[in-house]
Amino acid sequence: MRFITSAARPLSAALILANSLLLAACVDDGDSGSDGAMGEQGEPGPQGAEGPQGPVGPAGAQGAQGPQGAAGLPGPVGAAGAQGAQGPIGPAGSNGSDGSTGAAGARGPAGEQGVAGPTGPQGPTGPAGSLTLPFTATQSAAAALFSLSNTGSGNAIVGIGNTGFGVQGITSQQSSAGVVADNTGGGEAMVGRTTSDIAGAVVGRNDGGGSGVRGFIASDTSGTGVGVLGQVGSGNSTGRAGRFENNNAANESNAFEVVSKGLGNIPDNTQGNAGSFVVDNTQSVGAAVRGEVNTIFGNLGAAGIFGVSSGTGGFAGLFHAGNPNGNGAALVAIADGNGNGITTNAGKDGDGIEATVDGTGTAVYGWVPNFGIGQAGRFQNYNPANTTPVIRVETVGTNNLAVFRAGAANVARIDAAGKGFFNGGVQANGADIAELIPTVGEEPQIGDVVEIDPMHEDRFRLSSSANTTRVAGVISTQPGVTLNARNGAHEDAVGPALALVGRVPVKVTGENGPIRIGDLLVASSKAGHAMRAPEHPAPGTVIGKALKRFDERTGQVEMLVMLR
């Protein structure tokens, strides 16, 4: 069925009759309201311009028959009919009635038609005919079988149905449509209206696998066309411009899908997107996109907003605060429960979080508000086989690697060379300061007494003689500070470390008698062991002072390092 509101054409009386009957079956415009009070008559308006000539009226009834044309030439006389049988002779009387006429002879051929007379005047329009309902007709034609035109302000067709459809169009062709509405004047082609709170003014239904509602742009290339447009706000209306629902819990299909095969638009990222949502009101506090999920499960798919980058490039999510004068964050994540504000994971070789800054700000800034009791930052490695650093700080300049502040003042820092500065000092778990030393021969172990090797420069070895002045000290067990680490912070210091200051365990013997607390200690004749010093030890032989008693043959005591 096709509705056209432009040109008109004459209609026969039978077609007018069919139209009238169809009008009675069209969409209900609703009950008319009561007539309002008549207003005061206005001043007569100026006479309007002469309107266009109206359409040609329907054909009138057939005019009276014209005068008879001249008679044609007479045809030949037909053969005479057979004579009837003669009756019996009656008595002579009065003359009888005439006998019946014999049968007519065969008709001769018609003569030539005479000249047609002039057409008579048009008769008056006859009364409207009547049509019996229901009316059904079938016709095969390329043109419209039913067409109505209204050149006024009224409706071209109105269909009213009680419990059935006001208008129903049916087609069996995929390339056709049950109902097509055209508007050649730039307005709406089809409008659905309703005052219902539960029903739709326009409903698209598909009982197959296709679309319930399909909107598309057929040929326009201006880039401004819209396939489906939902609007709210006209006439101060409120509500939603669009809503999509899935009411079947077993339906695993998406409630709403947007697919674009476009290439995007790099100069103007407001164009070329699969979807674009804008809150265009400088006073608004609403969100352009709001996603919510209400579930007890925390698996990967249960997300208010779920972005996926399935190609070799692109971002699963991009947030851009594009106003250079704006102060808003590009992304804010808030967790009111016990979960994380943001959780990231790089499943392969990428970084879990990468942050950069172009100005004077901070790439990563963690802080605890004045009512919080948590930590501003925490870094932890749960893999005991992971040998990479938990935190790595790099700089290519001469600026500090790290600065630590309390209040508004620096309390500690580490410069680009790795030097540490600590206002409050350094507290270490070890009890001594030691220096890594190169050795020859058997490698000394912790607690061993070592001496300077006279045969090799800058080398040390296990002590081998009593009261030697070449004695250097004791190998540290767990130094609090280790010096002379030639590779610095690149790798862990390894090798024997000579205790310079502090307390260390030392291997001892009872070679010179029991050791009492406070006794001076010197090298013994047992390699790598110390003993109680003689009453007057020679200068350069003492390595420390005993802090514990010892009265066995060999063992270990705690010693205060003291070279003299």
**Chain segment 467-512, per-residue pLDDT in tens:** 999 999 999 999 999 998 776 665 666 789 999 999 999 999 999 9
What local confidence, expressed as pLDDT, does residue 28 receive? 47
Percent of the chain with pLDDT over 90: 41
Question: Average pLDDT for residues 221-240, to the nearest whole number?
Answer: 89
What local confidence, expressed as pLDDT, does residue 81 receive? 64
What local confidence, expressed as pLDDT, does residue 118 receive? 76
Residue of 303 and 166 predicted with greater confidence = 303
**pTM exceeds 0.75 for this model:** no
H or E element that contains 471:
strand 471-474
DSSP string across 244-310: -----TT--S-S----------SS-TTSS-S-------TT----S-------S--STT--SS-----
What local confidence, expressed as pLDDT, does residue 25 receive? 43
What local confidence, expressed as pLDDT, does residue 60 receive? 64
Q: How far apart are CA 380 and CA 349, in angstroms?
A: 18
Band (pLDDT 50/70/90 cuts) for residue 4 is very low
| Residue 277 burial by Cβ neighbours in a 10 Å radius (0-12, 13-18, 19+) | exposed
User: Residue for token digits 């935190």?
Assistant: 391
Please tell me what DSSP assigns to residue 490. G
Residue of 435 and 223 predicted with greater confidence = 435
The phi, psi pair for 311, rounded to 5°, reads: -95, -170
Q: How far apart are CA 386 and CA 242, in angstroms?
A: 52
Order of all β-strands in the sheet with 420-422: 402-406, 409-414, 420-422
Band (pLDDT 50/70/90 cuts) for residue 67 is confident
What are the pLDDT digits (tens) for 265-276? Answer: 888 888 889 888
What local confidence, expressed as pLDDT, does residue 7 receive? 43
Band (pLDDT 50/70/90 cuts) for residue 160 is confident
pLDDT at 448 over 60: yes
What local confidence, expressed as pLDDT, does residue 5 receive? 43
Which fold is adopted by the domain 431-562? Virus Head Decoration Protein; Chain: A, (2.40.300)
What are the strands, taking DSSP E only, across 70-194? 180-181
CB atoms within 10 A of CB 479: 25
Mean of the per-residue pLDDT values of the chain: 83
Residue of 31 and 198 predicted with greater confidence = 198
Domain boundaries, given as residue ranges, for the chain: 380-426, 431-562
Residue of 79 and 257 predicted with greater confidence = 257
What local confidence, expressed as pLDDT, does residue 104 receive? 67
User: Residue for token digits 């090798």?
Assistant: 495
Question: Average pLDDT for residues 210-231, to the nearest whole number?
Answer: 86
Contacts of 126 (CB under 8 A, 6+ apart): 13, 60, 61
Q: Hey, which residues does 180 pair with through a beta bridge?
A: 2
Q: Phi-psi region for residue 96, left (φ > 0), alpha (ψ -120 to 50) or beta?
A: beta
Nearest residue to 476 (alpha-carbon basis) of 519, 441, 430:
430
What are the pLDDT digits (tens) for 510-524? Answer: 999 999 999 999 999
Band (pLDDT 50/70/90 cuts) for residue 37 is low
Question: Average pLDDT for residues 85-93, to the nearest whole number?
Answer: 68
pLDDT at 451 over 50: yes
Helices (H), 439-517: none
The phi, psi pair for 474, rounded to 5°, reads: -125, 145
What local confidence, expressed as pLDDT, does residue 22 receive? 43
DSSP string across 184-235: TTSS-S-------SSS-SS----SSSS-SS-----S--SS---SS-----GG
User: Residue for token digits 């205790």?
Assistant: 499
Band (pLDDT 50/70/90 cuts) for residue 534 is very high
Band (pLDDT 50/70/90 cuts) for residue 69 is low
Band (pLDDT 50/70/90 cuts) for residue 6 is very low
Band (pLDDT 50/70/90 cuts) for residue 181 is confident
Q: Are strands 2-3 and 180-181 parallel, antiparallel or unpaired?
A: parallel
What local confidence, expressed as pLDDT, does residue 24 receive? 42
What are the pLDDT digits (tens) for 98-157? Answer: 666 667 677 667 667 667 677 667 767 656 556 678 878 788 887 777 777 888 888 878
Band (pLDDT 50/70/90 cuts) for residue 366 is very high
